Structure 1
Amino acid sequence: MIGILVAAAISWLLLYFFEKDNILALGFLPIAKRLKQFLIGFMLSAFLCVLVQFLESYLKSSEWIMNEDISPLHILEAFWWDFKSVLTEELIFRGALLYILFKKIGTRKSVLISAIAFGIYHWFSYGVLGNVLAMVLVFLGTGLMGFAWALAFSKTNSIMLAFGLHLGWNFVHNTIFSKGPLGEMLLISKGGNELSDWASLLNFTSGLIIVPIIMLLFVCFGVKNEGFTKQFP
């Protein structure tokens, strides 16, 4: 919670100092419209994450079983953890700094800078620094994702669609399918075989490359451009 408060406070100060604006400039209003954008993003990325997990289960011939030790309270606590971590990242990478860049240098350069920063950040959060191949793949995948989400901000003039896309993926990945740092949560993978090289590559690229491309296509062609400029389709 402290991280969110600090990020929000810094965002407010930056917006006031550079643009004489406040945190609402990040597009939290009107509430009904922004909530709809958030839910659309959440459901799309959640659905894509489910597909990726069941593809892995199919390739490994494994199955997902319910964790009998999990409780609704644990799920709520995990959701809150995902919510806090995602909102903090959104405020950093697609918050006040990106808004100010839009105003100062335009959307094209700003979206690219945001995507590059997001890709580099994940070298550290994924712990792949020094592994050249992993660094390239992580940069491409998370950079594409960051590009799609920054573009969503530029087209909607709001952080909410990107927030939904980000949270939908993280919540399903971490809390539903127990793939994140929270340990065993709602579903646990049972059984299965070790993946062959091609199957492992398909499994890896489905989440890290194919999903970001799908999200980018959705933002490019499925989201009405009503944001800062009309530079994108």
Structure 2
Amino acid sequence: MIGVLVLIAISWLLLYLLEKKTILALGFFPVAKRLKQFLIGFLVTAVLCVLVQLLEAYLKSSTWVLNQNISAAAILHSFWWDVKSVLTEELIFRGALLYLLIQKIGTTKSILISAIAFGIYHWFSYGVLGNAMAMILVFIGTGLMGYAWAWAFSKTKSIMLPFGLHLGWNFIYNSIFSKGPLGDLALISKGGHELTDWASLLNFVSGLVLVPIIVLLYVRYFVKKETEVNPEIE
């Protein structure tokens, strides 16, 4: 949590020094509107993540079963871990830096820079640096998603929609389907076989290509572009 607070402080300082703005320039108000955007974003990617996991289970002939050793405390701990990790990435890639870039060089270039940086960052966070094929695949998938989330930031002039989109995927993926670094949580995969050939390709395309494209379409056609910057409360 200290890291998040440091990022907030740095973001606030950058916004003030370069644009004479406070952290509220990242679009936290009006609260009801931003909360709605967050919840819708969360729901969109949560549903997509569930569908991808069900497809994988179908392709592998496996099933998802409830972890009998799970507790509410463990789920809450995992959720809080997801919140902190997602908020950290949002503050870096869809926070003050993206806001300032948009002011200085325009929306299109800024979104592209944010997406490229997000894709490169995941070479390190996924530990694929040096594996050329893995680097290409990770860059495509996370870069496309980063582009969608940066676009959501620019259209809403708020960090809340991309935060919801990001957290919806990560929470379901990590905490519900136990795919994250915290081990077995709500659901555990049982049975099945390893994916090969076309099934493996289909599974990859659905998660790392199709999902970002769907999110891009959602942002393109269903997210209303705001024309006025949200008022700050000094």
The corresponding residue for 2:86 is 86
State whether residues 107 and 228 of structure 1, in contact with CA within 8 Å, keep that contact through their aligned partners in structure 2: no
The corresponding residue for 1:192 is 192
The code of the aligned residue for 1:193 comes to H
Asked if 1:109 corresponds to 2:104, the answer is no
How much does 1:221 deviate? 1.0
Asked if 1:74 corresponds to 2:74, the answer is yes
CA deviation string 1:6-28 (max 9, x = no partner): 11010000000100000000000
d(CA) in 1 for partners of 2:7, 2:208: 27
The code of the aligned residue for 2:135 comes to M
The corresponding residue for 1:164 is 164
The corresponding residue for 2:124 is 124
d(CA) in 2 for partners of 1:84, 1:196: 35
What is the TM-score normalised by the length of structure 1? 0.97
State whether residues 119 and 139 of structure 1, in contact with CA within 8 Å, keep that contact through their aligned partners in structure 2: yes
State whether residues 82 and 171 of structure 1, in contact with CA within 8 Å, keep that contact through their aligned partners in structure 2: yes
- Structure 1 gap ranges (5+): none
The corresponding residue for 1:51 is 51
d(CA) in 2 for partners of 1:114, 1:201: 27
Moved >2 Å (runs of 4+): none
Name the CA shift for 1:17/1:47 in 2 (closer, same or farther; >3 Å). same
d(CA) in 2 for partners of 1:213, 1:128: 23
The code of the aligned residue for 2:106 comes to G
Name the CA shift for 1:227/1:183 in 2 (closer, same or farther; >3 Å). farther
How much does 1:228 deviate? 7.1
- Structure 2 gap ranges (5+): 230-234
The corresponding residue for 1:179 is 179
d(CA) in 2 for partners of 1:84, 1:205: 28
The code of the aligned residue for 1:226 comes to E
d(CA) in 2 for partners of 1:11, 1:121: 19
d(CA) in 2 for partners of 1:180, 1:228: 38
How much does 1:113 deviate? 0.3
CA deviation string 1:170-201 (max 9, x = no partner): 00000000001110000000000121211011
- Residue 181 of structure 1 aligns to a residue in which SS? coil
Give the share of equivalent positions with the same residue, in percent: 74
d(CA) in 2 for partners of 1:85, 1:178: 16
Name the CA shift for 1:228/1:116 in 2 (closer, same or farther; >3 Å). farther
The code of the aligned residue for 2:145 comes to M
CA RMSD of aligned residues (A): 1.0
d(CA) in 1 for partners of 2:32, 2:228: 21
d(CA) in 1 for partners of 2:205, 2:67: 27
d(CA) in 1 for partners of 2:55, 2:139: 23
State whether residues 153 and 227 of structure 1, in contact with CA within 8 Å, keep that contact through their aligned partners in structure 2: no
How much does 1:133 deviate? 1.0
- Residue 180 of structure 1 aligns to a residue in which SS? coil
The corresponding residue for 2:232 is none
CA deviation string 1:21-54 (max 9, x = no partner): 0000000000000000000000000000000000
The corresponding residue for 1:215 is 215
d(CA) in 1 for partners of 2:90, 2:195: 34
What is the TM-score normalised by the length of structure 2? 0.96
d(CA) in 2 for partners of 1:204, 1:228: 39
The corresponding residue for 2:133 is 133
d(CA) in 1 for partners of 2:52, 2:125: 21
Name the CA shift for 1:119/1:227 in 2 (closer, same or farther; >3 Å). farther
d(CA) in 2 for partners of 1:222, 1:102: 22
